Amino acid sequence: MTRTPRTKRRPRVTVAEVVLYAFAVLFLIAIIYPIYFIVIASFSDPSSVANGQVWVFPKGFTLEGYRELLRHENIWIGYRNTILYTVVGTLFGLVVNISAAYALSRKDLVGRKFFSLFFIFTMFFSGGLIPTFLTIRDFHLYNTFLVMVLPFSVVVFDMIVARTFFQTSIPGDLWEAAQIDGCGNLRYFVLIVLPLSKAIIAVLGLWIAVGYWNSYFNALIYLKDPNLYPLQLILRNILITNQMQSGMGTGEAAQVALRLANLMRYSVIIIATIPIMCVYPFIQKYFNQGVMIGAVKE
């Protein structure tokens, strides 16, 4: 930010600019520091953290928290389940939403308006928690793998964004030409439209994947078997529900257990968040594109 381009005309930095960048730097610190603190705390001696001796660098370096995690079988079961739900859910969600969005983008689709309304209505009105729960139970999906990916795969907002993308980025002449060459709708969609739509596929794919990676509500309601629990539900037990449980017992052993539990909380946050944080910078440019498309809704 201090390296202004060395042209003759604009090296002058105004007061307004100084204020602007000072504010921006403060803002950055406010965002980054809590996250950074969790990282260094996960490598530090828990009592140093509790006593307020950890500020900039880890103190009393230790990997004990991560070692404790390795012993925690539930976390790895949750990890595995979340990866499964995310991969299957994302692929399925992409197929369902993108293909419907493409159909809706075609002006020559008879009943286009009706179908659009059919989907959009569900954004504003729904059966609510209990009727949805009863429906899912009636379909025998309660406490199954499928309940995590099937019922909630249609995301109307994503569909609208994709529809707008197809309307604005795929020229209608292309279809005319393909038609003359005797190409049907399905072949045209798979062979011509999809290869031209990498940007929107990347955006929706990541949106959906982040959603699955982070979701816990559906698991909380529709799953009973701990072997099906996604990571977030396990995390909830470690981070929020059982706050004090490891404090049982007496004396020094309990103290040690409590300290370890605290330390593990830092490490578990790190390992649960790292995958998402790693992916997104690479797809960031698509992300911006996607949001811009979303902005031109309708």
Partner 1 sequence: MRTNPLYIGRTLERIRRNWGLYVLLFPAVLLTLLFAYKPMYGVLIAFKDYSPALGIGDSPWAGFKYFEKFFHSYQFTNTIRNTLVISLYSLATFPIPIMLALLVNQMRAGRFKRLFQTVSYMPHFISTVVMVGLMLILFSPSTGLVGNMYQLFGAQAPDLMGSSALFSSVYVWSDVWQHVGWDSIIYIAALSAVDPSLYEAATVDGASRWHKVRYIDIPMLLPTAITLLILRVGGLLGVGFEKVYLMQNDLNILSSEILSTYVYKIGLLSSQYSFSSAINLFNTVINFILLILVNQLSKKYSENSLW
Site for partner 1 in 149-178 (CB under 8 A): 150-154, 159
Q: Which of 88, 170, 202, 276 binds partner 1 (CB under 8 A)?
A: 276
For partner 1, the closer CB: 63 or 292: 292
| Contact window for partner 1 (CB under 8 A) among 72-80, 162-170, 213-221, 247-255 | 213-221
Q: What are phi and psi of 246, to 5 degrees?
A: -75, 0
Interface with partner 1 includes 95 (CB under 8 A)?
yes
Please report, as residue ranges, which positions from 245 to 274 form the binding site for partner 1 (by CB under 8 A): 262, 265-266, 269, 272-273
Q: CA nearest 222: which of 152, 269, 123?
A: 152
* DSSP assignment string, 27-72: HHHHHHHHHHHHHHHHTS-HHHHHTT--SSS-SS---HHHHHHHH-
Structure tokens, 155: 């995301």
According to the binding rule CB under 8 A, does residue 114 interact with partner 1?
no
Residue with Cβ nearer partner 1 (227 or 241): 241
Are 60 and 48 contacting, i.e. CB atoms less than 8 angstroms apart? yes
Distance CA 173, CA 268 (A): 53
Residue matched to tokens 């470690």: 238
Of the two residues 75 and 136, which places its CB atom closer to partner 1 in the complex? Answer: 136
Q: Which range in 67-75, 83-91, 129-137, 196-204 contacts partner 1 by CB under 8 A?
A: 129-137
Closest distance between partner 1 and the C-beta of residue 204, in Å? Answer: 13
Smaller CB distance to partner 1: residue 131 or 171? 131
Say how far apart CA 131 and CA 111 lie, in whole Å: 29
Q: Which of 12, 56, 71, 240 binds partner 1 (CB under 8 A)?
A: 240
> Apex CA 120: angle with CA 116 and CA 121, to 5°?
115
> Can residue 295 be called a binding residue for partner 1 (CB under 8 A)?
yes
* Region from 60-68, 83-91, 127-135, 165-173 binding partner 1, contact rule CB under 8 A: 127-135
Question: Taking CB under 8 A as the criterion, which residues in 13-72 touch partner 1?
Answer: 14, 16, 20-21, 23-24, 27-28, 30-32, 34-35, 37-38, 49-52
Q: Which stretch binds partner 1 (CB under 8 A): 83-91, 147-155, 194-202, 246-254?
A: 147-155
Considering only 194, 236, 260, 283, the residue that binds partner 1 (CB under 8 A) is: 236
Q: Binding to partner 1 (CB under 8 A): which residues in 189-208?
A: 189
Q: How far apart are CB 56 and partner 1 at their closest, in Å? A: 13
Name which position in 185, 246, 257, 283 contacts partner 1 (CB under 8 A): 185
Report, in Å, the least distance between residue 73 CB and partner 1. Answer: 19
Please select the residue that binds partner 1; options are 69, 75, 94, 104, rule is CB under 8 A.
Answer: 104
Cα(169)–Cα(188) distance, integer angstroms: 15
Structure tokens at 114: 């009706």
